[in-house]
Amino acid sequence: MSEKKNTLAQAMAWNTAGNLVYSICQWIITILAVKLDSYGAAGYLSLAMSTSSTFSTIAMFSMRNYQVSDVKAEFKDPEYLGSRLITCIMAVILCSIYAINSTSAYQMWCIDAFMLIRLAESIVDVIHGINQKYDRYDLIGKSYFLRGIATDAAFIAGFIFFKDILTAILLTGIANLLIVFVYDVRQTSRLEKLSLVLKDKHIAVLLRKCTPIVVTSFLLSMIPLLPRTAVQTILGNDILGIYSSIASPTLVVQVFAAYAFNPLIPRISALYIEKKYDAFLAIFHKILIFFAGFAVIVCAGGMLLGRWGLNLLYGPTILESYNLFMPLVWCTIFTAYIWIMDSIVTSIRKIIPMMLAMAVGFAVCFFFTNTFINTYGSNGASFIQIISFVIVFIELIVITEVTVLKKKKETA
């Protein structure tokens, strides 16, 4: 077993840098789709990414937050690995069924092809949970670096040799899976022998405990998917391509904020279990202060550099739709905040209230998406997301505050 450990600062640096590079590389393929093909191709890619992301929540089963906050080792690594195989199979089947109802057969195959990338992400997610247990964030960071490079290389190769968005996505999925098995599995096997169990009562218990979390994640992923699907249906695939192209640079903000905090989750969970409620609340309130400051900095940066950046990436014609940019920035800010809040609420095991909070946000999005898009055009897709996210965000803050203060009062 390797004795190498990462300090908290190193862990946050490796985790954030790796995820940032991987996300930038995925963002680059959305730009390449426009540059090498058209906004129509970007539309196909965008819906494939969004749809597969929704079913990725089933593959991952939101188990990572549970896994890394499982400081008492309630479940063993082979059980986490075995359950992940089951959930991946479920996700592929459900995604394939959903994709049949796509606007075209070509869109269906794009969704199915991108699901290969989501499978790689899901498999490596549980492996990274094991890396995290050993504080080997360097392995996690390097994995993201390798898969990011492989993503862009395979995507470009698909266009150079086949000039087809579907083939490019398919090659990208295969490349990601190869990295997982050639690098991640081999490196993690040096920390401990990897094995999985499928026939064990603990698998059913683990899946049952994580079900409310995956329902929460599924509903969260549906909040951006519903408006994007509606944009394609109501306004057309080219409009969706423009909307998605403007949205793609803002995703870097989302990833940076969310993954920078990932190494803190086991520590926050430990404070709660050890009944150090004052220390827990102190960290939580600092996170809320960070949220406010981060939003100010990102919005200021967006207003100063947004036009310049979009013109640099796509050319001057994209600026005709610049009014879509800042609402999309707010969408990504609140998505990142909710990712962080989900992890915190999971760490204190208030999973059912978290699921109900997300259900409220989803219901708002479900019932009002078409109205907002018909009224405000493409911006309506962003407006309804922002409203839904704000509702969920406030609910999760209240759940955390009330739960910890109640526990503090009980132990006083």
| Model confidence at 7: pLDDT above 80 | no
What single string gives the DSSP state of each residue in 312-334? HHH-GGGGGGGGGHHHHHHHHHH
Q: What is the DSSP letter of 182?
A: I
**Least confident among 35-44, 104-113, 305-314:** 35-44
103: exposed, middle or buried (C-beta count within 10 Å: 0-12, 13-18, 19+)?
Answer: middle
Q: Is 201 left (phi over 0), alpha (psi -120 to 50) or beta?
A: alpha
pLDDT tens, residue by residue, 67-111: 776 767 778 889 999 999 999 999 999 999 999 987 789 999 999
Q: Which helix (H) or strand (E) holds 163?
A: none
Tokens of 271: 């404070």
CA gap 212, 216 in Å, rounded: 6
Q: What is the DSSP letter of 14?
A: H
Pick from 21-25, 317-321, 372-376 the range whose average pLDDT is largest.
372-376
CA-wise closest residue to 366 among 172, 211, 248, 224: 224
| Confidence label for 118 from pLDDT (cuts 50, 70 and 90) | very high
- What Rg value do the Cα atoms of the chain yield, rounded? 21
- Contact residues for 407 (Cβ-Cβ < 8 A; gap 6+): 272, 275, 277
Mean pLDDT of the chain: 89
Tokens of 238: 């080219």
Number of other residues whose CB lies within 10 A of the CB of residue 118: 26
Rounded mean pLDDT, 8-35: 82
Are 240 and 228 contacting, i.e. CB atoms less than 8 angstroms apart?
yes
Rounded mean pLDDT, 295-316: 92
pLDDT tens, residue by residue, 149-161: 999 999 999 988 9
What are the percentages of helix, strand and coil residues in the chain, rounded to 5? 90, 0, 10
Rounded mean pLDDT, 236-262: 78
Are 314 and 34 contacting, i.e. CB atoms less than 8 angstroms apart?
yes
| Model confidence at 4: pLDDT above 70 | no
pTM for the model stands at 0.75
| Model confidence at 5: pLDDT above 90 | no
Rounded mean pLDDT, 374-384: 96
- Contact residues for 41 (Cβ-Cβ < 8 A; gap 6+): 33, 34, 165, 241
- Residue 6 is predicted with a pLDDT of 58
| Model confidence at 2: pLDDT above 50 | no
Rounded mean pLDDT, 36-54: 89
| Confidence label for 257 from pLDDT (cuts 50, 70 and 90) | low
Tokens of 9: 């600062």
More confident call, 312 vs 265? 312
CA-wise closest residue to 257 among 279, 287, 285, 282: 287
CA gap 24, 252 in Å, rounded: 6
| Model confidence at 240: pLDDT above 60 | yes
| Model confidence at 341: pLDDT above 50 | yes
What single string gives the DSSP state of each residue in 188-253? HHTTS-----SS-HHHHHHHHHHHHHHHHHHHHHHHHHHHHHHHHHHH-HHHHHHHHHHHGGGHHH
CA gap 314, 57 in Å, rounded: 31
- Residue 20 is predicted with a pLDDT of 80
Rounded mean pLDDT, 145-151: 96
Q: State what percent of residues in the chain have pLDDT above 70.
A: 94
| Model confidence at 336: pLDDT above 70 | yes
**Least confident among 15-24, 97-106, 395-404:** 15-24
CA-wise closest residue to 129 among 92, 84, 91: 84
Pick from 13-17, 90-94, 196-200 the range whose average pLDDT is largest.
90-94
Tokens of 342: 């989900």
More confident call, 297 vs 66? 297
- Residue 1 is predicted with a pLDDT of 44
Q: Is 236 left (phi over 0), alpha (psi -120 to 50) or beta?
A: left
| Model confidence at 178: pLDDT above 60 | yes
- Residue 38, helix vs strand vs coil: coil
